[in-house]
Chain A
Amino acid sequence: MSGLTLAKRKVIWAYIFLLIPIIFFAYIRIYPTLSAFQMSLYDYNPLSEEQPFVGLANYEELFDELSNPRSVTTAAFRNSAVYVALGVPLQLLLALGIALMLNEIRIFGTIYRLFFFLPFVTSTIAIAWVFRMLYQPQFGVFNVLLQAFSLPQQPFLKSPQQALPSILAMVIWQGLGFAIIIFLAGLKQIPRTYYDAAQVDGASRWQSFRQITLPLLNPSIIYLLVLQTISFLRMFAPVYAMTDQGSGGPLNSTTTVVLRVYREAFQGLNMGYAASLTVVLFGIIMSITVIQMFVSNRLVKT
């Protein structure tokens, strides 16, 4: 290669270095994505000899089920929507409150951060099982506490009404640390002088928060809104670990879209239908991302 110019040699080396990553992304990421779209058009069962092409039949089945309010698929989409609608705002509010307080204190700040951060890095499965034990009737900590205050025992995970909020509480708790760190990073970017100026002008703490902190924290809030919405939409492990045999019960009251995908594809071997579910999930996540780009672009302009 010594006869080549330096620029040409660099081009060749760039391709050589990128060879394995390009093959990897083409074969492990892009091809399976297209493959999922394709599978959703087939009655795909890995055990049968033939995989007949069925056109949009899987999607028709999906929307038929969605029009039936009592079907499992409807329950899955409804629950996922509830997880997002309750989980994201609650988690962000809590995290913002904690971050604001952490931002004020100086002594032991690192220790506190370590504590808040611990659940986030721990395996969801381990944590989910610990909470499942805490929620147990009779010997679970929550019921022991209720008993200590002579309050009635609660079924928590065993009740169709209480199971979803119980799981949601654990997920919010576990993800707090991440949101806190993003908020803290955002708070540190706000120049201190703004607050000093506001104080000189006689602004109250609340006014400073409303007029300075909140608007300048906007990028962090939007970022977390999108990221946490997607992560609550994709919820699987907590529900799998905290319900009996990973069923999403009792009575499908906690099941999620991804749990439905897993059960259809790997327990029902109904992979074509499961693929159509993932395509719908992909569509939802894509729209959220596009809306976010649109909103943050507008915010930057104004």
Chain B
Amino acid sequence: MATIAQRRKSLFESDSRPTRIRGDWKYKAFSYLVLTLIAFTMVVPFMWMISTSFKPVTEITKSNFFPIDATVDNYGEVLFNTELPRWYLNSIVVAVMTTVSVAFFDSLAGYVFAKYEFPGKRIIFILILSSLMIPTEMLIIPWYIMSVHPIIGSSWVDTYWGIAFPGMITAAGIFLMRQFMQGVPDELLDAGRIDGVSEFGLYWRIAVPLSLPAIGALCIFNFLGNWNAFIWPLIVTSSQKMFTLPVGIQFFSTESGSDWHLIMTGATLSVVPLLLIVIFFQRYIIEGIALTGLKG
């Protein structure tokens, strides 16, 4: 915990470095200029996407940046004449399902690996971590067969469980939580034991509250990752009603051509929650990446 706190400090504390003396302002001015230009290229595609979503269909293939006759017709069409609201709901359900499960099971497993001694601990931990080295692409074919002929219940294809099951517990999250839970003081847990707190109570009432920042970062990453997931939802959904947003947006383009106004409006709507998350939790996300190297 100490090292993490230190590293976080070094990462975010306002700079107390001495300023450089010679020729500094030239370099700074140059940096600001270049950074502004690059930042511009980062934002323009988003602005183009949003601006297109407000253009009437006849203006889509014109090259004006801002809509001449701004309209919300595209939003009306997307919300009332397509399945997009349903896809939105599906994406939320899947992202929330996996995030809740990951928050609970990853932190519980991380707690056990940090605070318990038991036979087979090392081998189980290594087996779980080694699954990080296996690319998802290798698993999708077996997952699909498992979903068509599951051991429990009827086909998982076209169900929320089918979309969500591969991400219900993550090895990276368990590793991250173990690192954090190691900072929970043993004295606190022992004191709890003496007071008669159950083993689950120790986890739930001591370890979890002390690790909330890490669990929060894990939740944000997991939500982003599942919101944007594409290849598995593409494979395991077959009816339009069960598409998630990324799969559904794809559906606005057919062999006869692409409905650009629908695609850009759908894309804008799918990006809105991400923008909110990034703006509100920017610090946590950047901190999380910097500390763990975790990729969303």
Contacts and interface: CB of A to CB of B under 8 A. Distances in A.
Interface stretch (A67-75, A160-168, A183-191): A183-191
Contacts of A275: 141
Interface in B51-66: 52, 60-63
Contacts of A245: 255
A134 interface: yes
12 contacts: A11-B119, A18-B112, A119-B45, A130-B45, A134-B48, A138-B61, A139-B63, A181-B289, A182-B289, A205-B27, A236-B230, A246-B250
B81 interface: no
Closest 9 CB pairs of A and B: A32-B142, A185-B290, A126-B267, A125-B246, A101-B31, A14-B116, A35-B142, A29-B131, A123-B228
A199 B141 contact: no
A21 B61 CA distance: 52
Given A104-B27, A115-B42, A184-B290, A14 B142 contact: no
B169 A21 contact: yes
A118 B246 CA distance: 17
Given A10-B117, A116-B38, A261-B141, 16 more contacts: A10-B199, A17-B116, A17-B200, A29-B171, A104-B31, A105-B28, A113-B282, A123-B227, A126-B270, A126-B271, A129-B253, A129-B264, A173-B42, A188-B10, A189-B7, A285-B135
B15 A106 contact: yes
Interface size class of A (residues with CB under 8 A): 35 or more
B197 to A, nearest CB: 12
B142 A223 contact: no
A15 interface: yes
Interface residues of B, number: 102
Contact of A285 (B11, B133, B296): B133
Given A30-B127, A104-B27, A282-B138, A114 B112 contact: no
A33 B132 CA distance: 12
B187 to A, nearest CB: 15
Contact of A112 (B18, B35, B118, B263): B35
Given A10-B117, A17-B203, A126-B267, A32 B143 contact: yes
B220 to A, nearest CB: 9
B70 interface: no
B249 interface: yes
B43 interface: yes
B76 interface: no
B128 A21 contact: yes
A261 B169 contact: no
Interface string A1-37: 0000011011101110110111011001111110110
B63 A144 contact: yes
A117 B285 contact: yes
A24 B169 contact: yes
Contacts of B214: none
Contacts of B35: 98, 101-102, 105, 112
B5 interface: no
Contacts of A274: 141
Contact of B141 (A13, A18, A28, A271): A271
Interface in A205-259: 205, 223, 227, 230-231, 234, 236-237, 240-241, 245-246, 258
B273 to A, nearest CB: 10
A289 B133 contact: yes
Interface string B230-254: 1100110000000001100110010
A114 B285 CA distance: 11
B89 interface: no
A241 B248 CA distance: 12
A124 B228 contact: yes
A28 B271 contact: no
Contacts of B141: 36, 39, 261, 265, 271, 274-275, 278
B271 A18 contact: no
Interface string B89-126: 00000000000000001001101100011110100100
Contact of B42 (A116, A138, A286): A116
Contacts of A279: 138
Nearest to A106: B15
Nearest to B277: A121
B206 interface: no
Contacts of B148: 46
Given A6-B193, A126-B249, A178-B295, A113 B286 contact: yes
A21 B164 CA distance: 15
Nearest to B288: A181
A120 interface: yes
Given A101-B34, A118-B42, A178-B295, A25 B277 contact: no
